[in-house]
Amino acid sequence: MSDFLDTLSVLILLSSFVLMANKRIKSYIETFRIQSLLIALVAGIMGVDSLLTEGRFDILVVCLLIIILKVIYIPALLHRTYVNVKYKVEKDFILNIPILIIVCCGLVVFSYFTLATVDGLNESIFNIQFVNSVSVIWIGLFFMISRKKAIGQIIGFLVIENGLYITAMLSTQGMPFIVDLGISIDLLTAVMIMGLMVFRINEKFDSIDTDQLNNLKG
C-alpha cells in the first residue's frame, strides 16, 4: 500500500504544479477536481485496507464525502459562479508562469530540508509522503497570493485545505470520522461564503479582480 500512497502523493504534488501553470479559471477548477479525486483515491485505498485489517469503514465514508463535495459539488458551484459573473479575459497571475514554477520547486526543496530536521520522519517512505503533502500546502498558499481574480484565490484556499487534509490523513492513517465531518462542513460553508463574496465584488466593481478593492481606500 505504501507504494501506491507514494505514487499518489507525487501525483497530487504534480497536480499543484499543473494548477500553477494554468492560465484560465476553468482550468483551475478542473485541476482542483483532479487533485481532489486523487485525494479521494488515497482515502479509498486507506479505507479498504482499514476495512480488511480492522473492520473500520469510516474512512470509506470519508472517501465518499470527498467525492461528493470536492469532486462534484464544489467544482460545480465554482463553475456556476464563474459563469454568472461578468468576466473579462485578463491576465490573472502577477508573475510569469516559468517564475511561478521555479518558486514552486523552491518550496518543495524548502519543505524537504525543513522536514528532514523533524524527529521521527527519517524513513524514506514517510519523507516522500510528508514532503509532497506539505509542499502542496505551500504551493496552495503561493497560488492564492499570486492570483488577482477572486475565484483563483478561492481555488488557492481549497488547495491549502487539500494539502492540510492529505498531510493529516497520511500522518494519522485516517482521522476520526467526526473530525472529517466537521472539516467537510466548515469547508462547504467557507466556499459558499466566498462564492457570495465573488458576486458582491462583481456587483460592486463589474470585475472579480480583487485589485479593484483598492478603490475602497480613502
- Provide the sign of the torsion angle of the four alpha carbons 146, 152, 156, 157, taken in this order: positive
pTM of the model: 0.80
pLDDT tens figures, 131-186:
888 999 999 999 988 887 777 888 888 898 888 888 888 777 666 655 666 566 66
> What is the percent of the chain with per-residue pLDDT over 70, rounded to a whole number?
69
Q: Is 149 helix (H, G, I), strand (E, B) or coil?
A: strand
Q: Whole-angstrom Cα distance, residue 182 to residue 204?
A: 33
Write down the mean pLDDT value for the chain: 77
Give pLDDT, residue 111: 87
Q: Whole-angstrom Cα distance, residue 88 to residue 100?
A: 23
Task: Kindly tell me if the per-residue pLDDT of 56 is higher than 50.
Answer: yes
**Under 8 Å CB-to-CB from 97, ≥6 apart: which residues?**
20, 21, 23
**Which triple of cell numbers denotes residue 99?**
517564475
Confidence of residue 218 (pLDDT cuts 50, 70, 90): very low
Task: Kindly tell me if the per-residue pLDDT of 211 is higher than 80.
Answer: no
